[in-house]
Amino acid sequence: MSEYGEYVSLEAQDGVGVIRIDRPKMNPLDKGIQEGLAQAAIDAGADDSIAAVIVYGGERVFAAGADIKEMESLGYTDMVGRATRLQECFAAVSNIPKPTVAAIAGYALGGGCELAMTCDFRIAASDAKLGQPEILLGIIPGAGGTQRLARLVGPAKAKDIIFTGRFVDAQEALEIGLVDELAEPGHVLEAARAKMAPFVDGPAYALRAAKTAIDRGLEVDLHTGLAIESMQFAGLFATRDREIGMKSFIKNGPGKAAFEGR
């Protein structure tokens, strides 16, 4: 068993970390997997050899939701504390201070869809299905689905998907902005690696600052968001990469800087 539990792993290759869920058959996200994901996300964020992160469930299924058998016997008092921790585990993924992408094959339903939405980008196989079917169980999404989905696709479309519990095919998901790119079945991990590759040698602190400014800015009013942006912008003038980028631009034009990640 790894430090992330039996079903979660973190592996790095060529500057890209892959957080993998592997619990046959459908990658149900039980408590152990939730905690494993949180720890893997923290470690990926702290590892300087990792510049970008992929969240992946294999080429058969991303994650088909929570472990309903685990949840079925729980009552209100059981979930009062657990609901908060569930969101904290998923927030750990969204808080990775590096570019992230969900590589979605098969089904990303319920908690699986919510996990995918914690990433900066989503690439789905052309035959993938996404959705928030919790309403069919008499509950609602509890790991961020009502909030992240509405921010991605707008409130009316989010209500349609959540109220009905219907599955969203990959093409519709692309059209409404739930996913950003489609890949051939069997090639989502390859496509995700290609998506993350340009960030491996990028200006790490500028990428972190951009992610912070966008994500935190969406949580507040425009005036406060601009103040967040200003602080992040000014702070980058203390980095080596800012010096490298500007000197390279003056000497060689844009896009030729060899950043050092510091």
Active site residues: 114, 134
Q: The tokens of 138 are what?
A: 């008499």
- The per-type count for the chain, helices as H runs and strands as E runs, is 11, 9
Q: What is the largest CA-CA distance in the chain?
A: 66
Q: The tokens of 195 are what?
A: 């998506």
DSSP state of 135: G
DSSP state of 95: T
Q: Give the DSSP per-residue string, 221-262.
A: -HHHHHHHHHHHHHHGGGSHHHHHHHHHHHHH-TT-------
Q: φ, ψ for residue 71 (rounded to 5)?
A: -85, -25
Q: φ, ψ for residue 146 (rounded to 5)?
A: -65, -30
Residue partners of 192: CB distance under 8 A and separation at least 6: 54, 56, 101, 102, 103, 123
**Alpha carbon of 33 to those of 8, 85, 141, 195: distances in Å?**
6, 13, 17, 25
**Looking at the DSSP assignment, which residues form a beta bridge with residue 100?**
53
Nearest to 118 by CA among 86, 144, 94, 149: 94
